[in-house]
A and B are shown apart, each in its own frame.
Chain A
Amino acid sequence: MSKGRFGIHGGQYIPETLMNAVNELETAYNFYKNDEEFNRELTELLNEYANRPSRLYYAEKMTKDLGGAKIYLKREDLNHTGAHKINNVLGQALLAKKMGKTRLIAETGAGQHGVATATAAALMGMECVVFMGEEDTIRQALNVYRMRLLGAEVVAVKSGTATLKDAVSEAMREWTKRIDDTHYCLGSVMGPHPFPTMVRDFQAVISKEIKEQIMKKEDRLPDAVIACVGGGSNAIGSFYHFIDDKDVRLIGCEAAGRGIDTFETAATVNTGSLGIFHGMKSYFCQNEYGQIAPVYSISAGLDYPGVGPEHAYLHDIGRAEYVPVTDDEAVNAFEYLSKTEGIIPAIESSHAIAHAIKIAPKMDKDKIIVITVSGRGDKDCAAIARYRGEDIHE
């Protein structure tokens, strides 16, 4: 029987060689997620090491400037390692350790998940190998250095389009070669079951905190929660505890690249179709023969041709909206938030900021928007400078 379905999406489309590994992972996760000691250790790590809970910050200047809905920023950029990725990584690394694994492998796009995995590996005394598209090792050279500094080996993946999807493929290939001592620390809510569910659970801390914090500050739920979507882990984490609150709009911002009417886009829900890839049934950018499309976005972290199966399902049932945001809009938002609030957001998160800039002015002043700032933008400064025609050294 197929497991891990979200409507028609999800499943476990992987080689037989990996089936016992994912089954073992599922069994361990189902045990430890209810284990008191595991949860105590994880909470301790999240709070004392990763700096949780992250702030829910009222962006007063932005709110006044846009002149509409009240805007709050969920500051995942303030986590240790600078992004939401650490939430999932600490959970998986602790789980892997309990399972007796001594080596973590991971894929990375922008490098944030790779850095988080390298960090957890350093902390827990585990070996770490990170697969990163060669193209991305150039776009995100600083993160490559950070991973090496943390003791990880970074493998530049040259196959295919040498970006995130190829890094995922190569990490999967590596896992089939070496399973006994190795855990594949997948960085998003994608891949075969149990990853989409497990990663979502580890990221759901974001919406759990937003809910508590907004109730404390406003004594009501927000009208909209906005997050960027590549594979979709910070978005599902931001949405999860609001899914049953039907009055809260859930908005995922996809990377449209140069626009959804061009071939240079990574907006999967907006331009893709149903397919089977990287272990899951979901929406993918592909041609009529099922060949995966070479997607494009200025953001290495959103430059992925698929989307997590739970997002595909939330789209199908109309519970969440998925909107495209172009490179231009994201870069403008990157600069806008820096100047307006003194917060430099990751270029990924800037896609969510950009959409809020579009919709906030049209909303009444008594409405509330929460935007998840999934990561900080230091890593992007050189790339954005280049985008604006300025050549700076990192």
Chain B
Amino acid sequence: MSNIKTAFENGKAFIAFITCGDPDLDTTEKIIETMAENGVDMIELGIPFSDPTAEGPVIQAANLRGLAQGVTTDKVFDMIRRVRKRVSIPMVFMTYANVVFSYGTERFIRTAAEVGMSGLILPDVPYEEKAEFADVCKKYGLDLISLIAPTSDERIGMIASSAEGFVYCVSSLGVTGTRSEITSDIDSMIASVRENTDIPVAIGFGISNPEQAAQMAAKADGIIIGSAIVKLIEKYGKDCVPYVKKFVKEISAAL
């Protein structure tokens, strides 16, 4: 078990996603520090993948910008080693199965634990395929985060009862990206999760402003914001840090 639960100890958790190396790894380091100092409780770090099939256009483009910068898994680990000396909140990786598998699943997870990561989110690894990653995660004390979707229905019990760290509740059909409205029946999804586990539940996909954040946080233990932050990074590039700071402060204040 990891220290992920600490992110949920002071009221609703604010989980922020960014892609490593977008616009470059030095800026990523600064964003991580700024977010940790301004109300973010946990950071999800994307390791860029050439073909991120679960992402909408905003995060797809961030992945490609990262790769164009020459970001590699090893460089991401090095960056985390540096930033870990100054940042203590839990951090988890969000990447695709092939990034982990091609590095060597055990070598990847062992190194992630060594540099101080707490968990791993693999959007293309559903319950049925998780054993080959979950067993290794367990060995090194990382949590493999389980996702549930609006289509999960009767699968929720099975997924939630073996979930670790927190349950990532996908708010909407489709890929990542901001949405003007979230229409899924989140209340019943979360009720099903709670019947099967005591670990925290966070809602992600589509949340982009303080109002939505507050509305979703009322339903769960935390919220996840990705595309809205990545959009700021895309717009301001290396000068994005103060804009990200302002944004996360607003979200944090709304929770």
Contact = CB atoms under 8 A, between A and B. Distances in A.
Given A15-B147, A20-B153, A290 B125 contact: no
A338 interface: no
A20 to B, nearest CB: 5
B141 interface: no
Contacts of A173: 53-54, 56, 174-175
Contact of B53 (A179, A275, A278): A278
Nearest to A286: B102
B54 to A, nearest CB: 5
A39 B147 CA distance: 38
A292 B98 CA distance: 9
Contacts of A176: 54, 173-175
Interface stretch (B7-15, B29-37, B126-134, B244-252): B126-134
A19 B98 CA distance: 19
Given A276-B124, A289-B103, A290-B102, A16 B129 contact: no
A3 interface: yes
Contacts of A178: 173
A340 interface: no
A291 B170 contact: no
Contacts of B102: 273, 275, 286, 288-290
A267 B99 CA distance: 21
Nearest to B108: A290
A1 B128 contact: yes
Contacts of A160: 50-51, 64
Contact of B101 (A19, A165, A290, A291): A290
B227 to A, nearest CB: 14
B149 A292 contact: no
B175 A177 contact: yes
A200 B31 CA distance: 49
B173 A12 contact: no
A276 B101 contact: yes
Contact of B50 (A13, A14, A274, A292): A292
A275 B152 contact: no
A291 B148 contact: no
Contacts of A279: 124
- Residue with the greatest number of chain A CB neighbours at <10 A, chosen from B67, B97, B124: B124
A277 interface: yes
B60 A159 contact: yes
A41 B131 CA distance: 41
Contacts of A11: 128-129
A17 interface: yes
B101 A172 contact: no
B173 A179 contact: yes
B127 A16 contact: yes
B53 A177 contact: no
- Residue with the greatest number of chain B CB neighbours at <10 A, chosen from A21, A173, A273, A279: A173
Interface string A261-294: 0000000000001111111000010101111100
B51 A292 contact: yes
Interface string A348-388: 00000000000000000000000000000000000000000
Interface of A is mostly: mixed
Interface string B40-57: 000000000111011011
Nearest to A166: B51
For this complex, into which size category does the number of interface residues on chain A fall?
A: 35 or more
Nearest to A176: B174
Interface in A1-50: 1-3, 11-21
Nearest to A3: B128
- Residue with the greatest number of chain B CB neighbours at <10 A, chosen from A16, A166, A177: A16
Interface in B152-204: 152-153, 155, 159, 170, 173-175
A20 B152 contact: yes
Contact of A17 (B49, B60, B125, B173): B173
Nearest to A13: B124
A286 B51 CA distance: 11
A307 to B, nearest CB: 15
Given A288-B102, A291-B49, A179 B151 contact: yes
A19 B102 CA distance: 24
B175 to A, nearest CB: 5
- Residue with the greatest number of chain B CB neighbours at <10 A, chosen from A18, A288, A290: A290
B236 to A, nearest CB: 23
Given A176-B54, A275-B101, A289-B72, A17 B150 contact: yes
B128 A15 contact: no
26 contacts: A1-B128, A12-B129, A13-B97, A13-B126, A15-B123, A15-B126, A16-B147, A16-B155, A16-B170, A17-B149, A17-B173, A17-B174, A19-B152, A159-B57, A159-B60, A165-B51, A173-B54, A173-B56, A276-B96, A276-B101, A284-B98, A289-B74, A290-B96, A290-B101, A291-B50, A291-B67
Interface of B: 49-51, 53-54, 56-57, 60, 64, 67, 72-74, 96-103, 123-129, 131, 147-153, 155, 159, 170, 173-175
Given A17-B149, A17-B174, A176-B54, 4 more contacts: A11-B128, A16-B149, A19-B126, A20-B151
What 4 A-B pairs have minimum CB-CB distances, sorted nearest first? A290-B102, A177-B174, A17-B149, A290-B98
Interface of A: 1-3, 11-21, 159-160, 165-166, 169, 172-173, 176-179, 273-279, 284, 286, 288-292
